[in-house]
Chains A and B, each alone.
Chain A
Amino acid sequence: MSFLSHFSYAVTIALMIAGLYVVIARGNLIKKLIGLSIFQTSVYLLYIAPGKLIGGTAPIVDGKHVIYSNPLPHVLILTAIVVGIATLALGLALVVRIREAYGTIEEDEILDADGAATADRPGA
């Protein structure tokens, strides 16, 4: 009972941890961004799910509809989705540029390439 009533939170936390884990554990820059996106998506759920009441109506102010769903979280999350899309788009654009500059999108190989470049230049 308790678990079922908190089901949306359980999903939220699972997504949150999975997303953050991918960001930290993966060396591939695109996979990191996918993890970041999943992490952000979990927040959308955190906001939207509590806004819905079972049996609630649209927020209309009159005597008959006392129980209504809160529309504000949905509006907030529309904004957050836009922010998330912008972040993902910018991140992917950066990965394209990184691939052009380094020829790889694996973090280890990029760091190795920079390490080799700095070793060539004395005093760098």
Chain B
Amino acid sequence: MISAHLPALQVVVPLLAAPLIVLARRGAAGWAIATAASFASLAIAIALFLQVRDTGMISYAIGSWPPPWGIEYRVDAVNSFVLVLVGALASVVAPYAWRSVAAEVPEDQHYLCYAMFCLVLAGLLGIAITGDAFNLFVFLEISSLASYVLIALGRDRRALLASYQYLVMGTIGATFYVIGVGLLYLMTGTLNLADLAARIGDVQGSRPVLAALAFITVGVCLKLALFPLHYWLPNAYAYSPSVVAAFLAGTATKVSIYVLLRFYFSVFGEAATFVALPMREIFLVLSLAAMFLASLAAVFQDNLKHMLAYSSVGQIGYITLGISLDNEAGLTGSMLHLFNHGITKSALFLLAGCFVFRLRSVQFADLAGVGRTMPLTTAGIVVGGLSLVGVPGMAGFVTKWYLVLGALDAGSWVIAFAPVVSSLIALWYVWRFVETAYFQEPSAAAAAAKEAPTVLLGPALLGAAACVYFGFDTSFTVGAASRAAEALLAGMR
């Protein structure tokens, strides 16, 4: 009986957890509720994933108002995969939050921090699950507003400015998106994504629809931090509490990429975006710029979190590169990287949080020689870093393999080389960390440090282990990603 309502529960559970935590007003109770909500979200996401895999698309009418009049929650091969990613990362981050939040956030704000965490989770799951364009905007704003608050909780005063800048950029992005949706609504009279896809054919190519495509593209690309629009990301990740950086780095931009995929392939259709317009070329150029320039910027950072943040911008370039290839192998690569990079980057930020816990700093100067006193944490970062580089046997390698296949399918040798060359830049910045942590004389702080407690190290190393696991056992990830790519290419009709 309850299984019929899983799509609604997916969002309702974390959404209700947030006010519960505020009512409890206690950090410990807040943490327990947030963790329980995260585990429940993961369980529901897995149940939905299995159900979609076995029986196909699920359509759930909120309040029993039939779509397209009511709001529809629509779970298919594409977003069930994203739901599992968000649920899984929340479930790894939440247990870790217990000690990390205690160390980095003033005590009277703990329960608010957990409440905001639940709101971000509800918002992200909502964006992924909803089949209604305006409902998507509302969830986008729920998750964004809560994440601005979380970022501002950072100890450094620069966190406030980072949060403010993210608020301005994020609001411009969301407003652009809603302008695009408004124009689509004017032309088609519907907000349901599947209904939009069915009706847009009659007005395809008209000026308001083209304007809508442009507004939605720019708006969503701001949220997913595509290369020239990534200005807000590095400081937001570097100065926010470690838990927040770990959760947002793995989920927020990934969910925005899902929105882009949904609009390009399911709503507008690839004929309108990639054949009639030069979107392929635009995304190709921006992706390559991200892969090279942002990765290169990562090499010259003095702060581990800044380095990881710039590396995120570069890695997002890989995902959009797969989109621009517009074939099955390329899209499989994109969906795979969405997942693989999500877990890799979250694991790395969690491990960086262990350094923050012991050293109160992630400046490279303070991390010198830390490999001797915190060997597990350092080794974990090296493993995660190798997954970023894409060494065979790591999750990142599987992605790059599919991207290269996609590029070859698209008939371009030059593009096939791009992920390989960009990996060398990733190797360069990972090497900088290795050199600092293992081969330099220990700094005063590093010499006195010891491993972070198990409650912190455990979830973080679990993430690092997942990078290795998904590099060997690809049946889950590749299976899910290729089903998602097929579903995207088949369109929504």
Which residue of B134, B137, B365 is within 8 Å of A123 (Cβ)?
B365
Give per-residue flags for B165-187: 1 if the beta carbon is below 8 A from chain A beta carbons, else 0.
Answer: 00110011001001100110110
Q: Confirm or deny: B293 has a beta carbon within 8 angstroms of a beta carbon on chain A.
A: no
In the complex, which residues of chain B have a beta carbon less than 8 angstroms from the beta carbon of A76? 134, 191
Q: Do B167 and A102 touch (CB < 8 A)?
A: no
Binding stretch for chain A, among B15-23, B83-91, B141-149, B278-286: B141-149
For the complex, what is the distance from the CA of A47 to the CA of B168, rounded to whole Å?
22
> A39-B172, A94-B163 are contacts. A86–B145 as well, Cβ < 8 Å?
yes
In the complex, which residues of chain A have a beta carbon less than 8 angstroms from the beta carbon of B185? 47, 73
> A43-B178, A46-B182, A87-B145 are contacts. A20–B160 as well, Cβ < 8 Å?
no
Q: Confirm or deny: A28 has a beta carbon within 8 angstroms of a beta carbon on chain B.
A: no
In the complex, which residues of chain B have a beta carbon less than 8 angstroms from the beta carbon of A110? 161
Q: Confirm or deny: B8 has a beta carbon within 8 angstroms of a beta carbon on chain A.
A: no
For the complex, what is the distance from the CA of A114 to the CA of B235, rounded to whole Å?
12
For the complex, what is the distance from the CA of A115 to the CA of B167, rounded to whole Å?
22
Q: Do B152 and A80 touch (CB < 8 A)?
A: no
For the complex, what is the distance from the CA of A86 to the CA of B167, rounded to whole Å?
11
In the complex, which residues of chain A have a beta carbon less than 8 angstroms from the beta carbon of B191? 76
Which residue of B137, B145, B161, B168 is within 8 Å of A114 (Cβ)?
B161
For the complex, what is the distance from the CA of A122 to the CA of B363, rounded to whole Å?
10
Q: Do B138 and A23 touch (CB < 8 A)?
A: no
* Shortest CB distance A51–B (Å): 10
Give per-residue flags for A67-96: 1 if the beta carbon is below 8 A from chain B beta carbons, else 0.
Answer: 000000100100110010011001100110
* Shortest CB distance A10–B (Å): 15
* Shortest CB distance A78–B (Å): 11
For the complex, what is the distance from the CA of A36 to the CA of B170, rounded to whole Å?
11
For the complex, what is the distance from the CA of A102 to the CA of B191, rounded to whole Å?
44
Q: Do B179 and A79 touch (CB < 8 A)?
A: no
For the complex, what is the distance from the CA of A123 to the CA of B152, rounded to whole Å?
24
* Shortest CB distance A57–B (Å): 18
Q: Confirm or deny: B364 has a beta carbon within 8 angstroms of a beta carbon on chain A.
A: yes
Q: Do A23 and B141 touch (CB < 8 A)?
A: no
* Shortest CB distance B245–A (Å): 18
Q: Confirm or deny: A97 has a beta carbon within 8 angstroms of a beta carbon on chain B.
A: yes
Q: Using CB atoms, name the residue of chain A closest to B149.
A: A90
Contacting residues of chain B (300-356) with chain A, CB-CB under 8 angstroms: 302-303
* Shortest CB distance B329–A (Å): 39
Q: Do A46 and B179 touch (CB < 8 A)?
A: yes
For the complex, what is the distance from the CA of A82 to the CA of B191, rounded to whole Å?
19
Q: Confirm or deny: B164 has a beta carbon within 8 angstroms of a beta carbon on chain A.
A: yes
Q: Do A114 and B158 touch (CB < 8 A)?
A: yes
Which residue of A43, A47, A94, A123 is within 8 Å of B160 (Cβ)?
A94
Q: Do A91 and B167 touch (CB < 8 A)?
A: yes
Q: Confirm or deny: B493 has a beta carbon within 8 angstroms of a beta carbon on chain A.
A: no
Q: Confirm or deny: A101 has a beta carbon within 8 angstroms of a beta carbon on chain B.
A: yes
For the complex, what is the distance from the CA of A89 to the CA of B266, rounded to whole Å?
35
Q: Do A90 and B145 touch (CB < 8 A)?
A: yes
Q: Do A97 and B152 touch (CB < 8 A)?
A: yes
In the complex, which residues of chain B have a beta carbon less than 8 angstroms from the beta carbon of A102? 157
In the complex, which residues of chain A have a beta carbon less than 8 angstroms from the beta carbon of B186? 50
* Shortest CB distance A107–B (Å): 8
In the complex, which residues of chain B have a beta carbon less than 8 angstroms from the beta carbon of A91? 164, 167-168
Q: Do A122 and B182 touch (CB < 8 A)?
A: no
For the complex, what is the distance from the CA of A123 to the CA of B365, rounded to whole Å?
6
In the complex, which residues of chain A have a beta carbon less than 8 angstroms from the beta carbon of B145? 83, 86-87, 90
Q: Do A36 and B172 touch (CB < 8 A)?
A: yes
Q: Do A94 and B152 touch (CB < 8 A)?
A: yes
In the complex, which residues of chain A have a beta carbon less than 8 angstroms from the beta carbon of B303? 124
Q: Confirm or deny: A98 has a beta carbon within 8 angstroms of a beta carbon on chain B.
A: yes
Contacting residues of chain B (98-153) with chain A, CB-CB under 8 angstroms: 134, 137-138, 141, 145, 148-149, 152
Q: Do B168 and A23 touch (CB < 8 A)?
A: yes
For the complex, what is the distance from the CA of A91 to the CA of B161, rounded to whole Å?
11
For the complex, what is the distance from the CA of A112 to the CA of B382, rounded to whole Å?
35
For the complex, what is the distance from the CA of A46 to the CA of B35, rounded to whole Å?
41
Q: Do A40 and B175 touch (CB < 8 A)?
A: yes
* Shortest CB distance A37–B (Å): 9
For the complex, what is the distance from the CA of A110 to the CA of B164, rounded to whole Å?
12
Q: Do A83 and B141 touch (CB < 8 A)?
A: yes
Q: Do A123 and B149 touch (CB < 8 A)?
A: no
Which residue of A20, A39, A43, A87 is within 8 Å of B141 (Cβ)?
A87
In the complex, which residues of chain A have a beta carbon less than 8 angstroms from the beta carbon of B179? 16, 43, 46
A and B contact pairs by CB, cutoff 8 A, 7 listed = A43-B175, A80-B178, A87-B167, A97-B152, A98-B160, A98-B164, A123-B366
Residues of A within 8 A of B (CB): 16, 20, 23, 29, 32-33, 36, 39-40, 43, 46-47, 50, 73, 76, 79-80, 83, 86-87, 90-91, 94-95, 97-98, 101-102, 110, 114, 122-124
Residues of B within 8 A of A (CB): 134, 137-138, 141, 145, 148-149, 152, 157-158, 160-161, 163-164, 167-168, 171-172, 175, 178-179, 182-183, 185-186, 191, 302-303, 363-366
